[in-house]
Structure 1
């Protein structure tokens, strides 16, 4: 029962001991309690009960019973980090048992070999056990053995063999009532999906396993480790670090398995390194190395040393000694047949290159590059990164670009399997190095056109196709509705001064469920469309100019496109531009309130400094036509209209030149429906809406109780123009939950992604609606970027807090321009010019930006 209904088994075993049982029965009861404590409780108690179980088995004069207990004790000792004692217990168990019992002992020793990282020994033992278990018609233990063999195959990179064993085991589990084992089988299938590169399926299966474990009331430390591995592959390293650290704290609190503690620390170290926190990575990895060494788990120790060396390199500790350590680890991983071996050789090659050890670097990178031909996507990318680094070291620009192209193609193919736009965006971080190498090669040896092509190759790629539309999932739909209700209740309670902790906890729970369901969505796009065409861009620009800002080695490179050519100019340091942009945002916040006139001159001066840093000499060569700015993700909040050379121009912003071309080619929908929405709580009540309505004949106006999320979404779908006057909320911690406040609660980014086609043009007239989160390599998440891939050609939104009163005349002037037939960008330029000249109205105009090309 202990793996079918663990807590019931524990109660039954304790009940047996209360009845003055025979030594044989008492041995069984103590063994069950020992298993429960070993897997879900205190290891000290587990060892105490298992030793008593063995002594009682000896008193009962049952060799088979003693052999069985010795196997359970062996697993416990290994998990406690007492490897030598554990292996001795297994030897004794194999000697004492026979036939069927010995096969069960061999299975458990195979499991312990797997824990220790001795995969060949694990395969030998499990292969000896399976025929005997099958012959005895022991369905449960045969299924366990097949599951274990599949898991070992995965550790060795043999995904096809693992799939076959998982399938066979699953067919057997369906005939049993072993609920914990069934949950473990689902978890293992999630691991297999991950190893084959299917991240959405892995997350779905691991979440299903978590639900099964929750019903049984058992902790899920191994599941946490596997889920963290998937989160890291999906670009969610900070979340993986938080989950691993939380699980470690829980494990320490119950006195759990030392082996699991070491694995959780290794997982946390990997996550910290990927999250850009080498200090934490070093601290976690160093402890993990010591624990693995003490547990005699050399396979695991080598993996922890790999992370430790990588973190030390990131912290600036490269040296000849570190090269030697990296080579030693790479050799050990190769000897183990570990899939991580190419990472070790790549790391050794990086350090050698940094030290100008060319011959050594060539040797190490050549070995690492072998992984580019086969295996999971991330392993192949490791190989192409090694190839690109060596090509750069030998001065082969062509070789660098070819390796980068092939590596990014692998990642493109991987990202098409991801349906959620959040995963697509975050996964780009895995290609950042290849993209940077290609851009550096283009800067050094290619012309401005080539640099533009490579800048576009990895810019805002998550927006290049619409996210996979969420299926008609009743659970997801009910979750979105429940979230809206709870969020609305929490907001109402805050306004009335009532306590909200319980409502906030429920809101966070619903957010986790909604996000989990969306991350399960699998992508179906066959590719990312046609490659970027510089000639087409120059043709479509006409007399306009497009300014694309690329960042290489921390410095801005200005690519000015137009007039039939692409020119490059040097800009300033990105870090300085970011500081100026933050200063401007602070000034705009203060200018949104009356009496902030004294902040106006410093803001204008910051605009001049931003122009020098971001445009440099290109500012004087913008021509007289409209200007499209393509900034890097980290500069998305720059109010471009504040820059002197752009202040009187028609200016729009696009996440990429490719995105601008798509928006430019987007046709407005037939019918020309206009939708105007007024949400609750605005200081002016959305005063512009009634006046704007008169310009469009018979528009659909949603206000008061009609401005509820389901109705608003229905009307927005396929509209030609939408104007939404509603409070905007940006969620830096979870950008997909950035929202517009409707009568029934927040309308979030996940809601917009359910639209078949978002409005052709959309105006968001309230605060912070253009605020976005910079994620991945150069991607953005938020309201605006959710709309652009769904059919919206143009958006007007604010990147800063704005004064509701001052917004009204700006919006009226904006719609006056639109009704005369001009673009959103021109209408916004003209609307700014029509405003009063005081600081409040000027700041309001600067806070709004036109995105896209409509």
Structure 2
């Protein structure tokens, strides 16, 4: 019962002890309390109760009960870090009791051996136990044994065998009332899905298991560890680190299992390393190594040593000792049959390369490269990374490019199994090294065309195909509606100066629920349908248009200037310097938005000149006289490109990638030409341009006041030819897909836009911060604009900085005047800027708006 209804079992056991039980019943009651404390509470109390249970079993002269208690005590001792004592107690238990009891002891010993990382021994014991349980027709213990065997298979990388055992166990669990065991089975299936490379299903199953555990009121430390693994693979390492650290705090608070603490420390170390926090990773990994060593858990200790070495290398350390340590870890992991062995070999090879030890590097990289042919996607990626490094060390540029191509193809296939745009974007981080190696090899080859192709290969890939549309999920729809209502109430309370802590907590809870359900979506797109076609791009650019793609290699900006049928390369400044200057410009534009800042105009214009030198360098003089398309890396998304002198008076558009611009250029406008004008609440100007635009566009759909509700706005936006939205914009740095536009009934968020069948062909967002993005993954962007581009929008006008509300109105009216005359968005925006007064607020407002895409 302790694994069917744990808290009820605990209460009943305590009730038995209150009623002067017999020695046998007292032993069972203390055993139940001990198991409950062992798995869900204080390990010290667990040991005390299990020792008392052992004493009562001896007094009851019951060999079966004594053997059962000894095995449970052995598991508790191992979880307390007393491995030698725990194994000794189990050995005593094996020699007592009937065949059925001996099978339970063997099961518990197999579980303990799995905890210790002794997987071969665990398989031997559980294989001996299963026939005895089946012969006794013991469904519960047979199902437990199959679940354990499957879990051990997963640790050894045998995913198919694990899946077969999980399927058989699940069929048995369905015939029982073992609710905690059932939750554990769901959790284990989530781990299996992850090992098979299916992150959305893994997240869904782990969330389902958490809900089951919550109903039982039991802690979920093993679930925390497993979810950390999945979150890291999904590119969500900071979240994994926060979850691991929070679980450690809870475990310490209840005096829980030492073994679980060590595993959580290892998870935290891995997450910190993935998140770029090398010093935290070193601290957590070092603690994990010491705990595992004290617990005599060599398998786990070796994995922790691997993370410790990785973190030290990330912190800038490199030595022959580290090569030897990494090689020793690789050998030991290989002897265990651990899937992480190629990672360790790759690490040893990398360190050897930095030291110039070519022969050692070749030996280790050759071992790591063997994993490229089979296994889950990320394991194959490890192999292709090793192969690319081998080719670079051998001086084979062609070999580098081939390995990078094959490795990124593997990751591409994996990425498209993800339905959520956030996961697709973040997953690209796994391919950043391969993309960088390929770009460097292309640069070394002296071919600007090849460098452009490889710059495009792993840039803004999340925009290459529409995200999977959220399913017709009533729970998700209900959560979105509730979120909108709570957010609107919180906004009103904030404006009135009333407390919002309760509303804020509820809003955050709903955000977590919405995000969780969207991350469960599996991809339904086969891929981007083909690679970047440079010839097609050059044809579309024609003779007048120039496309300047900015690639970053070794921290320096390389400008790839396309046009007139050719690609030329120019070297500009340092990326870090350009980022600093762009931040200064943003601060200056904020000041210019307010009256009285006229004296700052020359300073801001000088900043524009410095930015041009850093970002375009000599390419600025080669732009010709026609339109220019700028394709910046994700880290430069906040640059107000119209401020640069060589771009200020041009027809200028910005695109996340050349491929994205090409798709936008070839997007056909919808039939019918419907115009939609939306005016949200609370604007300082009241969205003053909207009534005048309504008169200009006869027959347009105007949504304002109570008509400007999210559901109605989405309905009208779907498939429109032109949409203009005057509304407060809110960019969420912490959660970019909850960036929003304020409507009458609450925020219209990015998740809402992703429900459109086809977003408007052209859309104008006349509010602050609508062109802000979060830079994630290798070179990806998440925000309002990037949600629209894959859904059929060919062009967007949006703003990257706070602006003067009053100055926005004439800019928008001038912009629409140009559109009415048949100009493109970029042409109309150029003319609108030129028509603005020369004072600081109007000039700053013009610079802050950009045209994205190609409409």
Query: What TM-score do the two structures reach when normalised by structure 1?
Result: 1.00
For 1:826 and 1:839, the matched residues in 2 are separated by 22
CA displacement at 1:529 relative to structure 2: 1.4
Matching of residues 1-16 of structure 1 within 5 Å? 1-16=1-16
For each residue in 1:65-91, what CA deviation from the matched residue of structure 2 results, as whole angstroms up to 9, or x when unmatched? 000000100110010110000000100
Q: Are 1:642 and 2:643 an aligned pair?
A: yes
For 2:838 and 2:497, the matched residues in 1 are separated by 39
CA displacement at 1:372 relative to structure 2: 0.1
1:598 corresponds to which residue? 599
For each residue in 1:230-271, what CA deviation from the matched residue of structure 2 results, as whole angstroms up to 9, or x when unmatched? 000000000000000000000000000000000000000000
1:21 corresponds to which residue? 21
For each residue in 1:37-79, what CA deviation from the matched residue of structure 2 results, as whole angstroms up to 9, or x when unmatched? 0001000000000000000000000011000000100110010
| SS state at 2:548 partner | strand
1:96 corresponds to which residue? 96
1:426 corresponds to which residue? 426
For each residue in 1:642-691, what CA deviation from the matched residue of structure 2 results, as whole angstroms up to 9, or x when unmatched? 00000000000000000000000000000000000000000000000000
CA displacement at 1:97 relative to structure 2: 2.4
Structure 1 spans left out of the alignment, 5+ residues:
none
For 1:802 and 1:529, the matched residues in 2 are separated by 40
Q: Are 1:289 and 2:270 an aligned pair?
A: no
For 1:620 and 1:316, the matched residues in 2 are separated by 39
For each residue in 1:110-152, what CA deviation from the matched residue of structure 2 results, as whole angstroms up to 9, or x when unmatched? 0000000000000000000000000000000000000000000
CA displacement at 1:530 relative to structure 2: 1.3
For each residue in 1:433-484, what CA deviation from the matched residue of structure 2 results, as whole angstroms up to 9, or x when unmatched? 0000000000011400000000000000010000001111100000000000
2:220 corresponds to which residue? 220
For 1:597 and 1:89, the matched residues in 2 are separated by 82
For 1:445 and 1:796, the matched residues in 2 are separated by 38
1:654 corresponds to which residue? 655
1:724 corresponds to which residue? 725
CA displacement at 1:525 relative to structure 2: 1.0
For 1:731 and 1:451, the matched residues in 2 are separated by 34
1:631 corresponds to which residue? 632
| SS state at 2:209 partner | helix
Matching of residues 256-405 of structure 1 within 5 Å? 256-405=256-405
1:172 corresponds to which residue? 172
Q: Are 1:677 and 2:670 an aligned pair?
A: no
CA displacement at 1:98 relative to structure 2: 2.5
1:703 corresponds to which residue? 704
Structure 2 spans left out of the alignment, 5+ residues:
none
2:831 corresponds to which residue? 830
1:412–1:528 contact (8 Å) kept in structure 2: no
For 1:530 and 1:406, the matched residues in 2 are separated by 15
Query: What TM-score do the two structures reach when normalised by structure 2?
Result: 1.00
For 2:826 and 2:221, the matched residues in 1 are separated by 53
Q: Are 1:765 and 2:763 an aligned pair?
A: no
Matching of residues 233-252 of structure 1 within 5 Å? 233-252=233-252
Matching of residues 43-54 of structure 1 within 5 Å? 43-54=43-54
Matching of residues 522-561 of structure 1 within 5 Å? 522-542=522-542, 543-561=544-562
For 2:467 and 2:420, the matched residues in 1 are separated by 6
For 2:669 and 2:804, the matched residues in 1 are separated by 31
1:60 corresponds to which residue? 60
For 2:618 and 2:434, the matched residues in 1 are separated by 29
For 2:577 and 2:355, the matched residues in 1 are separated by 30
For each residue in 1:623-659, what CA deviation from the matched residue of structure 2 results, as whole angstroms up to 9, or x when unmatched? 1110000000000010000000000000000000000
How many aligned residue pairs are there?
854
| SS state at 1:406 partner | helix
1:384–1:404 contact (8 Å) kept in structure 2: yes
2:741 corresponds to which residue? 740
1:848 corresponds to which residue? 849
For structure 1, which segment, 598-607 or 199-208, has the greater mean C-alpha deviation from structure 2 after superposition? 598-607
For 2:30 and 2:572, the matched residues in 1 are separated by 73
For 1:648 and 1:496, the matched residues in 2 are separated by 44
2:31 corresponds to which residue? 31
For 1:115 and 1:193, the matched residues in 2 are separated by 21
Which stretches of structure 1, 4 residues or longer, exceed 3 Å deviation after superposition? Answer: none
For 2:468 and 2:599, the matched residues in 1 are separated by 48
CA displacement at 1:602 relative to structure 2: 1.4
| SS state at 2:646 partner | helix
